[in-house]
Amino acid sequence: MNRTLILSICLLGLTTWVTAQQAITLQDIWQRYAFIPRSVPGFNFLEDGKHYTRLEDNQINQYDLTTGQKTSTLFDAETARATNQAFVDDVERYTFSADERKILIQTATEGIYRRSYRANFFVWDTERKKMITLSRIGKQGYATFSPDGNMVAYVIDNDLYYFDLEQQQENRITRDGRYNHIINGSADWVYEEELSFAKAFFWSPDSKNIAFMRFDETRVKEFTMVTHRDEVYPDYVTFKYPKVGEDNAIVTLHLFNVADQKITKIDAGYEADGMAPNDQLYFPRIKWTQDPNQLCVFKMNRLQNKLDLLLADASTGTIRPLLTETNPYYIDITDDLTFLKDGKQFIWTSEKDGYNHIYLHGMDGKLKRQLTQGNFDVTSFYGVDEARGMVYYQAAEGSPLDRQVYRVDLKGKNKQNLTPTEGSHMAQFSGTFDYYVHTYSTINKPATYTVYDREGKQIRVIEDNKKMLETHEEYAWNEMEFFEFETSEKVKLNGWMIKPDDFDAAKQYPVLMYVYGGPGSQTVQNSYGGGFNPWWFQMLAQEGYVVVSIDNRGTGARGQEFKKMTYQQLGKYETIDQIEGAKYLGGLPYIDAERIGIFGWSYGGYMASSCLFKGNGTFKAAIAVAPVTNWKWYDTIYTERYMRTLKENEAGYRDNSPVYFADQMQGELLLVHGQADDNVHFQNTAELVNALVRADKQFDTYFYPNRNHGIFGGNTRYHLYTKMTTFLRDNL
């Protein structure tokens, strides 16, 4: 065949292939949801360690972990409805009792804030084939089986209850619960948001006691949001929200004894250390030990740089110290406390040597040994296989970009990397640690889910996301590339970059920088984001933008000094680093230094506005969504952890709050906020608007009535991203 003809045919084929690539649209991302990778929800492992369950079409089905074959149906909603006419809604979640003979069924859930909710709960008795209604008073929160499976505790309207399944009787534990005053058994807003829990009651291992927290938020000042419901007058939602330096709720700890129906107050040293009243204390966790008569109490000072672990006697409420930890900056609270079944030891993680590591202590509090060590952070603690004396965890040992899964024995020896490849590796172990589900992805490859046995032998692939990889090809996914640069202060920072279609190094392109940048966070990691923002970034790359993200100082997986150097100067070094990042990019031959923009949400919105105001013309445009604009308007726990109070650190607040620098703005600004944001209040944007008006600065603004911090629901996200895309096209 003629060589020229062959070349022509090949070129024609190439042209056909290129033109077949699909253009990414906002409708694809936010209306069709075309780019959501397949995932495997958290496994509900059964106690035998070889089976798991799934909720499918209102049935709870049992599967063999090693084969994936369905072995039985443990619950069927239609069968249950025949035994209880009150059970009418679809099953949303479920929990087994410890002996797996009863199933707690959750329906008709109503979200309150980030983690709090109320729902209708029922118990399915697998032996009696009977559906039991927990309460007819009202919806319940956080229903939880007692360890013996004979009772369920829950919260209704700020009071704690339990239902006796043997006696078929509902029992009320507290009676003083009152909205915006007293909360029993669940957390207030600031504990829920910043200490990451909503349920605040816990059964003892022998089912004889319930430990619970009581929040007296009477003195906490109220915040009111306006919502619009197509009525003549709007609605007003008022809740307790402690801002910097203001009163917190007074939290006390209590024990309810089921047998004698008495409540005992735990003497947790509420006015110890000269701190009175006890709104100067936090109790970020309570957790039972293996001894049903001993409750472990976390007690932390308001500055959050001293943490005491205390042991409370369940019969008397008296306490004794177990462990004290201090930090020159602050202490991050985790759930990495495990009391071993031998009753003599516990596992604890700490940053006390400069990196987050795992430690073994005796029940006298004395350190036995450090189980992990080195210049890297343990990023997740998975648990202890006590039968074999092995500890499982995840760490960023090789690079802050990657995560691997490891195990080490209780002597701190025989360490093994179970996933020795680059990328992001996670594991979920069965209760016996015989098997685990391994999740693996890279920044350009969606997750695969695979079952392994404890020796690392692959059993089967659950999901390989082949269809999403085909979508990558169909829509011409541009590879995200990692890079590193050094700032003028000799700090090495990591970033990723997406280059445009048909990239030509001889041309110059505009840049959009995506930032979050908050304490301990990471946007630059070798794991797959997928979903929404990454595909929006891909769409912008198709339109000719370079998209970049850089992890500034203060971000995670690089040790305590790197993360906590922003202490009392929140935003200062982060802003410097993002500006230096923009200047580094502007110095690259293929970047148009006059067309650099920045976008962020929440802490990232704070960063975007701060960078625009302090960048001295470095940025041509910024999009700030739901930004904090003055740290004095944010909550006590988060802000004081990093900044102390306004009275203690006035300069730190003044120098690092965008509202004070509006007059320095150069470039274009799009300011976005939800008016029902219970987290970062609309007040932040309203006050920044006032400052911009005073400074005679023009800007664009979008506000969304009735939307919270996430600004979503119905057509909302499509509407928002249409505006943001148009703003970038017009201004960058």
From the list 664, 672, 714, 726, the residue with the least C-alpha distance to 691 is 664
Query: Between 277 and 220, where is the model more confident?
Result: 220
Structure confidence at residue 40 (pLDDT): 83
Dihedral (CA of 442, 443, 448, 453) sign:
positive
pLDDT tens digit string along 410-453?
Answer: 999 999 999 999 999 999 999 999 999 999 999 999 999 999 99
pLDDT tens digit string along 395-409?
Answer: 999 999 999 999 999
Q: 506-522 burial by CB neighbour count: b if 16+ within 10 A, else e? A: eebbbbbbbbbbbbebb
| Fold (CATH) for 482-731 | Rossmann fold (3.40.50)
Q: Is 346 helix (H, G, I), strand (E, B) or coil?
A: strand
Instruction: Give backbone dihedrals phi and psi of 199, rounded to 5 degrees, phi first.
Output: -75, 130
Determine whether 715 is exposed, middle or buried from the number of CB atoms within 10 Å of its CB (0-12, 13-18, 19+): exposed
| 69 band by pLDDT with thresholds 50, 70 and 90 | very high
Q: Which two tokens stand for residue 674?
A: 């939800």
Structure confidence at residue 44 (pLDDT): 87
Give dist(CA 472, CA 479) in Å, integer. 10
Structure confidence at residue 43 (pLDDT): 77
Q: Which two tokens stand for residue 614?
A: 């302090």
pLDDT tens digit string along 621-662?
Answer: 999 999 999 999 999 999 999 999 999 999 999 999 999 999
User: pLDDT at residue 81 above 70?
Assistant: yes
Q: Which two tokens stand for residue 539?
A: 């769409």
Average pLDDT, the chain: 94
Give dist(CA 73, CA 665) in Å, integer. 62
Q: Which two tokens stand for residue 90?
A: 């679809």
Give dist(CA 620, CA 594) in Å, integer. 7
Please report, for residues 213, 619, 668, 705, the alpha-carbon distance to residue 721 in angstroms, rounded to integers and kept in the order given: 42, 20, 17, 16
Q: CB 106: neighbour CB atoms within 10 A?
A: 18
pLDDT tens digit string along 285-302?
Answer: 999 999 999 999 999 999
List strands edge to edge, sheet with 93-96.
93-96, 102-111, 117-125, 130-133
Structure confidence at residue 68 (pLDDT): 93
| 530 band by pLDDT with thresholds 50, 70 and 90 | confident
Backbone conformation region of residue 421, classed left if phi is above 0, alpha if psi is from -120 to 50, else beta: beta
Q: Where in the chain is the domain with CATH 2.140.10.30?
A: 327-442+445-478
What superfamily in CATH does domain 42-172 come from? Tricorn protease N-terminal domain (2.120.10.60)
Give dist(CA 249, CA 158) in Å, integer. 14
Q: Where in the chain is the domain with CATH 2.120.10.60?
A: 42-172
Structure confidence at residue 318 (pLDDT): 93
Say if residues 253 and 268 touch (Cβ distance below 8 Å). Answer: yes
Structure confidence at residue 18 (pLDDT): 42
Give dist(CA 206, CA 525) in Å, integer. 43
Q: Which two tokens stand for residue 94?
A: 């479920």
Contacts of residue 248, Cβ cutoff 8 Å, sequence gap at least 6: 190, 220, 242, 279, 280, 282, 302, 636, 637
User: pLDDT at residue 276 above 90?
Assistant: no
User: pLDDT at residue 586 above 50?
Assistant: yes
- Convert 85-110 into a string of H (helix), E (strand) and C (coil): CCCCCCCCEEEECCCCCEEEEEEEEE
Terminal-residue alpha carbon distance, the chain: 50
Percent of the chain with pLDDT over 70: 96
Give dist(CA 524, CA 577) in Å, integer. 14
Q: Which two tokens stand for residue 121?
A: 């709960």
| 5 band by pLDDT with thresholds 50, 70 and 90 | very low
CATH of domain 327-442+445-478: 2.140.10.30
Q: Where in the chain is the domain with CATH 3.40.50.1820?
A: 482-731
Q: Is 585 helix (H, G, I), strand (E, B) or coil?
A: helix
pTM of the entire predicted model: 0.94
Q: Is 640 helix (H, G, I), strand (E, B) or coil?
A: helix
Question: Which is it for strands 492-498 and 480-486: parallel, antiparallel or unpaired?
Answer: antiparallel
Structure confidence at residue 13 (pLDDT): 41
pLDDT tens digit string along 187-236?
Answer: 999 999 999 999 999 999 999 999 999 999 999 999 999 999 889 999 99
User: pLDDT at residue 548 above 90?
Assistant: yes
Contacts of residue 11, Cβ cutoff 8 Å, sequence gap at least 6: none
